[in-house]
Structure 1
Amino acid sequence: MPAPRHRRIHGHSPWDNSGRVDLRLEVPDWTKDALCAEIGVEVFFSNNAGDHATRQAKQACARCPVRIRCLEMALDFDEWNDQYGVFGGTGPKERRALRRERAQQEVAA
């Protein structure tokens, strides 16, 4: 399942001046069609890239109707904070490689 993002409420950050955190999360509408919601998040956030859970997550992504949208969202993550999880059928190392490839294509264009 895609990582939810903190939503800005009325132009303010999730952290207001009083130090309280607004925990209302903004989740894209397309996630309701994602297969990961039916499987369980622990499969998509395994610690070992080659383990059974990771393979199971990638197999689910291969059948998911919103895989491309999920991958596009994951590629928009800040690369330094994108160290865990399977999104759009890719792990963190695969997403880093895709980002590098995309950057090289933008430079060449």
Structure 2
Amino acid sequence: MADLTDWLNNIPELDGARCVEVGHDVFFPGQGENDLVRQARAICAQCPAAAACLAHYINETDGIYAGTTGRQRAAMRRHTRKEQTSGRY
């Protein structure tokens, strides 16, 4: 896998992202690796690019992006679709 710095350099909105300061594995924990999830969320909580990260990676099913898991992002997508179909924004 490419270095996170190289990967994020292609996304100008994510300049200054804190994830480049730590290993890639932190953001892709395995099943039951709750310590890594907590560590990733703590990093994301201090990241100036978190909102742009979530907007860019909302459709990703794996990994921690902007402090959210794939399940949480799926719930956000469902919620957004539900609001859009009900006519409420």
Category of TM-score, reference length = shorter chain: 0.7 to 0.9
Q: Give the alignment of 1:22-101 within 5 angstroms.
A: 27-48=10-31, 51-75=34-58, 77=59, 82-101=60-79
| Cα distance in 1 for residues equivalent to 2:32 and 2:50 | 19
In structure 2, relative to structure 1, the CA distance for the partners of 1:106 and 1:50 (3 Å cut) is farther
1:32/1:49 CA distance change after superposition, 3 Å: farther
Specify the code of the residue in structure 1 equivalent to 2:86. Answer: A
- 1:95 offset after TM fit, Å? 0.4
Percentage of identical aligned residues? 29
**TM-fit CA distance, 1:39:** 1.3
- The two structures have a TM-score, normalised by structure 1, of 0.67
Q: Specify the SS of the correspondent of 2:44.
A: helix
RMSD across aligned positions (CA): 2.0
Gaps of 5+ in 1: 5-24
TM-score normalised to structure 2 length: 0.80
Ranges of 4+ aligned residues in structure 1 off by more than 6 Å: none
Q: Verify: 1:102 aligned to 2:76, yes or no.
A: no
Q: Which has the higher helix share?
A: 2
CA 1:65 to 1:98, structure 2 compared with 1: closer, same or farther past 3 Å? same
What CA distance in whole angstroms lies between the structure 2 residues aligned with 1:42 and 1:92? 15
Q: 1:94 to 1:108 in 2, by over 3 A?
A: same
5+ long unaligned stretches in structure 2? none
* 1:40 shift after superposition: 1.6
Residues paired across the two proteins, number: 82
